[in-house]
A and B are shown apart, each in its own frame.
Chain A
Amino acid sequence: MMNYFPDEVLEHVFDSIASHKDRNSVSLVCKSWYRIERYSRRRVFIGNCYSISPERLIARFPGLKSLTLKGKPHFADFNLVPYDWGGFVYPWIKALAESGIGLEELRLKRMVVSDESLELLSKSFANFKSLVLVSCEGFSADGLAAVAANCRFLRELDLQENEVDDHRGHWLSCFPESCTSLVSLNFACLKGEVNLGALERLVSRSPNLKSLRLNRLVPLDTLQKLLMRAPQLVDLGIGSYVHDPSSEASNKLKHAIQRCKSIVSLSGFLEVAPRCMSAIYPICGNLTTLNLSYAPGLHGNKLTKLIQHCRKLQRLWILDRIGDKGLGVVASTCKELQELRVFPSDPFGAGNDAVTEEGLVLVSAGCPKLNSLLYFCQQMTNAALITVARNCPNFIRFRLCILDPVKPDPVTNQPLDEGFGAIVQSCKRLKRLSLSGLLTDQVFLYIGMYAEQLEMLSIAFAADSDKGMLYVLNGCKKLRKLEIRDCPFGNSALLEDVGKYETMRSLWMSSCEVTLGGCKTVAEKMPSLNVEIINESDQTEFNLDEGQKVDKMYLYRTLVGHRKDAPESVWIL
């Protein structure tokens, strides 16, 4: 019996439980554990901002310090969701501000963030320390200026791949002289100029600065000055990197880079000339993370020469211009590699520089620790996938994107069912899977049978019938997110087990065979789900025919019913 432990002791024990899942489990044990856990909870992760309301969050966790919120569905990244669909952060910030909660950290993904929200945020939380915005939109440099000016103890301002209207670069000058607490500053995604003098002074007075990612318009001489002032950097994102290797500026840069002995993560190169890369060689030996995916100018010998210096690499993001041969160099050099992402540099082109199954096989053979993959390629074969599955049984994330999404195995002309089947059978810890290529119902049978730990599955242009979807829904017990586009899945798959959707975060289906009637049935049977129909056509009257196929459906479990902020194009059943 745990009754004789004072609350403080239990609290102390719970402190050492970091994972959200575990803390959630702890709170379910009994009433007193629930009570103690909720008062001591500091960090909350909300994977779908419409699954709960800010009021209920605040009521349950009054001691909240760090909040992570995600908004739009994943397919919003690929232009499949209307821009005004939702995911507004303002109501959250307003509620938190009015509640007296001492928020210190806010991490947002795919949310709409207005300048007004940033301003309110900056003025409402005296101890605010960390703002991380990933794939967000709706704000301008004015919002950033408010954060810079008002958050006196700001440690982290991390902007990743946001759409920002930042033609005014004044925001950086808004950091007061008294702000010396910065640990991480990332503005690589901004398109406008910043005040370079202000940037230099800011870096000079930030002795704890560990991570600095610059945008494209920070010139080389500024980079050199910044490096001289911050040799303690651990993570560097270079903006513009074009210089004449024989020039004085280049020598000064080399010297500055060499002083930065702690850099283990390098990214950016938003503008780069290949012949300049040799200045980086001295620090390559320490790198564990390298992101060259924004540098289409780097390829061929210059690229492979660079890679050959990076023996400690654990994470590599690169463009497919590296080619199969280049991946061979990765395979023979980067024995510690865990994560590889190969992005397409020219998705609609002839694919001369692209990678094929050969590159992947080479990496799988040379890098046994590989556990996370995102691979855009021209083609894939079953034989290659089977080999990869055998070489790398540790995959946690396996995302394959063949640029022609219905392409069969070019050698045998068969669908890729067997190849992906080998992956799910071999990789017992697989949590995330994205499929492409020609696929029949068979691959879903394999997934249902073997992918026991699968939490997220992305399907496009695959399957022959409802059976495919049913195999997955019946078999994958841990499934949380399922996103499907352009597959022949209809009402009988959708309606087979509607209770399943309550065990998942969300289901997306677009350009499938489900009808309005089918979606309505789900909504009727499951009041704990929001079933949204997204209709962006120009029809002035909604076609209310139950047999009408639904273009886009997004359903998700929620504790707070229909949301009130949906635009006209979204119909909540």
Chain B
Amino acid sequence: MSSENGKLLPETDAGGLNFEATELTLGLPGESRVTSDGVAKLGSKRGFSETVDLSLGDNKNTNKFGQSQIDVPEAAKSPVSKAQVVGWPPVRGYAKRRTKSCKYVKVAVDGAPYLRKVDLEMYNTYQQLLTSLEDMFSCFTIRNYLSDKKLDQVNGIEYVPTYEDKDGDWMLVGDVPWQMFVESCKRLRLMKSSEAVGLAAPRTPPKCSSAS
């Protein structure tokens, strides 16, 4: 939407439409609101973009809208950008509703032409995650080292779920408690069993049955 309307933003001159009346001024509070020809500007309100980055109070509650601040000049050009103003938008409980509880990670499967994304926050256990991955990549079977229960074999190729952690190491899925895994997982890779020999857990007999 914003790109369509880019040329119609009030700050830009969109030929023929009178924007002066509603033009946002960027002067600081107290500065003269008079245009160069001496006539008081109609739009003498403090522009939305001016309030960005003003610290309007040090609250005990941290600013729920606190993300990285953007320079005022940059915000002036496109108010639809990520500029933040204290108390705007006026929504309480925002922090609870935020999609902060979304943790999307990429899932790569050896041999698949494209990657998928899953939200790890959607699941409570490894089992749920693996079942969901199986649904997503329904033609593959996933080796589950957590339980001895073998997942249904459809076409006989087994995959081992691995993940890249915060340190950049590739780990076998399932060793650490679930919540710890969610926090440290950056991306998932379903590795072909045949390549996963080095990661095989010692208690499970390595069963690299691969078919064509």
Interface residues of A (CB under 8 A from B): 75, 77-80, 82-84, 135, 161, 163, 240, 242-244, 270-271, 273-274, 293-294, 296-297, 319, 343-348, 351, 356, 376, 378-379, 401, 403-408, 410, 413, 415, 434, 438, 440, 458, 460-465, 485-488, 511, 513, 536, 549, 551, 569
Contact = CB atoms under 8 A, between A and B. Distances in A.
A415 B29 CA distance: 24
Contacts of B14: 413
A78 B88 CA distance: 7
Given A296-B102, A410-B8, A413-B8, A78 B60 contact: no
A398 to B, nearest CB: 15
Of the candidates A84, A296, A319, A434, the one having the most CB atoms from chain B within 10 angstroms of its own CB is A296
Nearest to A161: B93
Contacts of B122: 242, 273-274, 297
Given A464-B43, A464-B44, A406 B10 contact: yes
Contact of A407 (B51, B80, B121): B80
A75 B14 CA distance: 36
A413 B84 contact: no
Given A242-B128, A351-B1, A415-B22, A487 B45 contact: yes
20 contacts: A80-B86, A82-B59, A271-B121, A296-B99, A297-B101, A344-B89, A345-B98, A405-B88, A406-B24, A408-B8, A410-B8, A413-B10, A415-B22, A438-B22, A440-B22, A461-B48, A462-B45, A487-B45, A488-B45, A536-B58
Contact of B98 (A163, A297, A346, A440): A346
Interface stretch (B63-71, B138-146, B200-208): B63-71
Nearest to B29: A549
Contact of A460 (B60, B88, B101, B119): B88
B127 to A, nearest CB: 7
A438 B87 contact: no
Contacts of A163: 61
Given A83-B59, A345-B98, 6 more contacts: A77-B90, A79-B86, A80-B57, A161-B93, A293-B97, A486-B46
Interface string B75-117: 0000110101011111111101111011000000000000000
A304 B162 CA distance: 34
Nearest to B4: A410
Nearest to B66: A79
Contacts of A415: 22
B197 interface: no
B76 to A, nearest CB: 12
A273 B123 contact: yes
Given A294-B97, A403-B89, A79 B79 contact: no
B30 interface: yes
B1 to A, nearest CB: 6
B91 A343 contact: yes
- Mostly helix, strand, loop or mixed at chain A's interface? loop
Interface string B143-158: 0000000000000000
B99 to A, nearest CB: 4
Contacts of A549: 29-30
Interface in B35-52: 42-48, 51
B46 A511 contact: yes
A151 B51 CA distance: 48
Contacts of B119: 297
A347 B45 contact: no
Contacts of B24: 406
A239 B139 CA distance: 35
Nearest to B57: A536
Nearest to B45: A488
Nearest to A536: B57
For chain B, give the interface size range. 35 or more
B42 A271 contact: no
B131 interface: yes
B44 A460 contact: no
A163 B60 CA distance: 12
B180 interface: no
Contacts of B48: 404-406, 461, 486
B89 A347 contact: yes
B56 A536 contact: yes
A83 B98 CA distance: 22
A80 B87 contact: yes
Contacts of A83: 59-61
Contacts of B67: 348
B82 A348 contact: yes
Contacts of A405: 48, 88-89
Contact of A343 (B46, B65, B97, B121): B97
B176 interface: no
Of the candidates A347, A485, A487, the one having the most CB atoms from chain B within 10 angstroms of its own CB is A347
- Kindly list the 7 A-B residue pairs having the minimum CB-CB distance in the complex, ordered from nearest: A78-B87, A536-B57, A488-B45, A83-B60, A77-B92, A296-B99, A464-B42
B124 interface: yes
A242 B10 contact: no
A481 to B, nearest CB: 14
Contacts of B46: 486, 488, 511
Nearest to B17: A413
B156 to A, nearest CB: 23
B22 A244 contact: no
Contacts of A297: 101-102, 119, 121-122
B5 interface: yes
B63 to A, nearest CB: 6
B96 A294 contact: yes
B211 interface: no
Contacts of A463: 45
B97 A244 contact: no
Contacts of B47: 406, 461
A84 B67 CA distance: 24
A242 B1 CA distance: 34
Contact of B1 (A135, A240, A271, A379): A379
A431 to B, nearest CB: 18
A223 to B, nearest CB: 13
Of the candidates B10, B46, B51, B87, the one having the most CB atoms from chain A within 10 angstroms of its own CB is B87
A410 B102 contact: no
Contacts of B91: 78, 343-344, 347, 376, 401
Given A242-B128, A406-B47, A78 B61 contact: no
Given A405-B48, A438-B10, A376 B1 contact: no
